[in-house]
A and B are shown apart, each in its own frame.
Chain A
Amino acid sequence: MRLQYLKGVTDLTLDRDLCNGCRMCINVCPHNVFGIEKKRAVLIDKDACMACGACKLNCPVNAINVSSGVGCAYAVYFSALTRKPHFSVR
């Protein structure tokens, strides 16, 4: 059974005009969010994104953007209590 989280919360974007078709995003995405269409990457399952940021970090042409972080309630409590983005990455 496939596990799915909340719909429509990720801010993942892909600029297909910048894409060079290297397939790195497909290679690093653990939830098969990306596919290839006409030799360029395309978002095929955006709601499966957990915003880990691997695609953004490994895209050599900066075609991908996403506010990445760790989807963990403890991290959210911690950053709310200390006002520090403790677990967020970059």
Chain B
Amino acid sequence: MRERSSRVVKNSPAVGSASAAGGHTVAASSRGRSAARRSRGWISGIIHTAAGDIPMVKTRLSFLDRWGAVKVRCGAGRAGYRVAPGLYAAGYPGRDAPVFVSANYKLSFDKLRAGLNGLDAWILVLDTKGINVWCAAGKGAFGTDELVARLEATQLKKVVRHKKIILPQLGAIGVSAHAVREACGFRVAYGPVRAEDIKKYFADGYKKSPAMRTINFGLKDRMILAPLELVHALPLALIILGIMAVLHLLRFHTLDVGLALEYLPLAGALVAGTLLFPALLPYLPFRSFALKGTLLGLVWAVGSSFFPAFTLFTLIAHVLLLTPLTAFFALNFTGSSTFTSLAGVKVEVKTVIPLFAGSIIAGTAIMILSYFGALGGI
């Protein structure tokens, strides 16, 4: 395995594994390590290769990695959550070690390195502008051109002596395996959808079970996406609060707890559409997200019209306003879901958005009229 040029750094903690590195010199000097740790906690050392120095990454996620994941799931700092594109080493990979390709969204990268724990492998990070594999592939950033260019830029052919690269299966949406082979000779294999299945895929001799190539959308998968739905819906919710505050001020000449009580049904619609909807997705009838959301919105509109006391006016206003609002938030969850198609979403949007808009205009009109007593005693 070891090449003539190999040189093992004496004080390296990796000496015992140097032969596993198969020709690459492992240097993890204490100075380099601490410097790396200060800048990026997830780098543990450097491997010298014919294509230059390659950072070694930890395959156990730290508290900071996990905290960063929680933050981006809630919408904080998503735009800058990136790693530099290029080659990385997990474990002590050698010239025959497998190569796994990922996006430069740190959440994607972290999932991959955690999935490689206990394996010796190279990681090739593409420049996907900080977007995850699936979304980047859908928009072409995780694509054939970027992959071919990155293989060339990193000189992977000098680092490994095989021609196989393993992509996450969802990368196939942007990458054409036969086109990559024609362009640069590397053979693309599509691995499992989820990085956590990599070890099993590896142990089974690079064979994928049907479960490994199927996308799931279980309760956990759905709820991890829900906080961001809520965050995305907040601006609209705040605009409505602002309008209601102005109307309240015009009528009562003060902003008091009455406004908060008036806003509660709307806040409920926000929670129903963004948090409850993902939770109940498989249990709501109909295939259409808009219809599922309309049903959920109707239940909330009718239910909330009993508080503090039921009136016909409240019922009508709630049904006209809260139903389409809840359904609108629900429809937006198509972007987070794993099984909706563009053609289907187009049909839904074209059909229901005019209806939602009409309902909200009618509801707003009767609310404003009632505010100023124009509707008499309803």
Contacts and interface: CB of A to CB of B under 8 A. Distances in A.
Interface of A: 1-7, 9-11, 24, 27-32, 48-54, 57-58, 60, 67-77, 80, 87-90
B248 interface: no
Contacts, number: 137
Contacts of B173: 52-54, 57, 68, 89
Contacts of A2: 282
Given A29-B213, A57-B172, A71-B334, A77 B339 contact: no
B339 A4 contact: yes
Nearest to A22: B178
Contact of B174 (A5, A50, A89): A89
With a 10 A CB-CB cut-off, give which of A1, A7, A29, A52 has the most chain B CB atoms: A52
A51 B176 contact: no
A32 B215 CA distance: 9
Interface stretch (B70-78, B84-92, B155-163, B345-353): B345-353
B28 interface: no
Interface in B293-346: 331-332, 334-335, 337-346
Contacts of B340: 5, 50, 71-72
B175 interface: yes
B343 A10 contact: yes
Interface string B19-46: 0000000000000000000000000000
B339 A60 contact: no
Given A27-B190, A28-B190, A68 B342 contact: yes
A30 B138 contact: no
Contacts of B337: 3, 71
B214 A5 contact: no
B341 A5 contact: yes
